[in-house]
Copies of this chain bind each other. A is one copy, B any other.
């Protein structure tokens, strides 16, 4: 089935005017790797770079959805337009399929200044590295001043999210493991702000102390480096949110004062370009393979008239 034709300029204009339908359609184009994506991205480019991208990650059960919802309320109280990407790294499904899980965000569902989208990252097009940055671009260009990317901390996803965000919030809950386990999980390196949620439970202070201690042992104590604060919240009751917002503000100020925001975005753009270029090369290689380009070389290798390196050189020479 050929893809539906897309009126890109109209769609981009509508998305920038705040049409949720247009934003939804653009993100679907991203997820489908639609042929119009290049035109979309070219049209969006001049309007990007304004959103503050906040990553929020944590193990299952720490209260990510509730915390995201509370943060959205706080940003809405400031009059900001907010975009939310809920990325499920373990699910092959996306779009509407996961929205059932977003019940806790229902309070924002009818707010026209809040855009909520669930995305899968394990599709055939690769992980977070591929679709999420493009979806962030869409929300950014659509005028979202804050883009919250929420993902469950499993495997590589929390490291990937830290690569995408300006500010990464790592969420923990009391009794879900001590500081040493956090260090082992590699989350000490990626968090810009740590939040111990469900702080009305036993052991919250111990978890906070533990985390502060582990952070003090790290290499982030040098002057000029950002020292991640550890906040306590009860997100379900909105408690401690002011502290978290203050930490985000301070981190944003630090990002700008030190030029770190620009450095991070340069690195992120490099990663993105590289991922797209590699995917393009891989696709061309696939074409070559289907078109018997590699097959002829393989036959020569099997016959012993050439070797795999010489064959690969030739393949590479004919790619670009």
Contact = CB atoms under 8 A, between A and B. Distances in A.
B299 A274 contact: no
A44 to B, nearest CB: 7
Contact of A309 (B38, B289, B316): B38
A312 interface: yes
Contacts of A276: 308-309, 311-312
Contacts of A320: 316-320
Interface string A296-320: 0111011111111111110111111
Contacts of A49: 302-304
Contacts of A41: 307-310
A37 B262 contact: no
Contacts of A317: 320
Contacts of A262: 302
Contacts of A274: 285, 289, 294, 312, 315
Nearest to A47: B304
A315 B273 contact: yes
A273 B42 contact: no
Given A45-B304, A45-B305, A276-B309, A266 B295 contact: yes
A48 interface: yes
A48 B301 CA distance: 9
A42 B304 CA distance: 9
A14 B299 CA distance: 28
A243 interface: no
B302 A273 contact: no
A250 interface: no
Nearest to A140: B304
A280 interface: yes
Contacts of A38: 307, 309-310
Nearest to A37: B309
Given A269-B308, A299-B266, A308-B272, A316 B42 contact: no
Given A280-B313, A307-B41, A309-B38, A269 B46 contact: no
Interface in A252-274: 262, 265-267, 269-270, 272-274
A245 interface: no
Contacts of A316: 277, 280-281, 320
Contact of A301 (B272, B282, B311): B272
Contacts of A134: 308
Given A262-B302, A304-B46, A277 B285 contact: yes
16 contacts: A45-B305, A49-B302, A269-B302, A269-B308, A270-B289, A270-B294, A272-B308, A273-B294, A273-B297, A274-B289, A274-B312, A277-B316, A277-B319, A278-B285, A281-B319, A318-B320
Given A266-B299, A269-B301, A320-B320, 4 more contacts: A38-B309, A134-B308, A273-B297, A274-B289
Closest 6 CB pairs of A and B: A320-B320, A269-B298, A276-B312, A41-B307, A269-B301, A277-B312
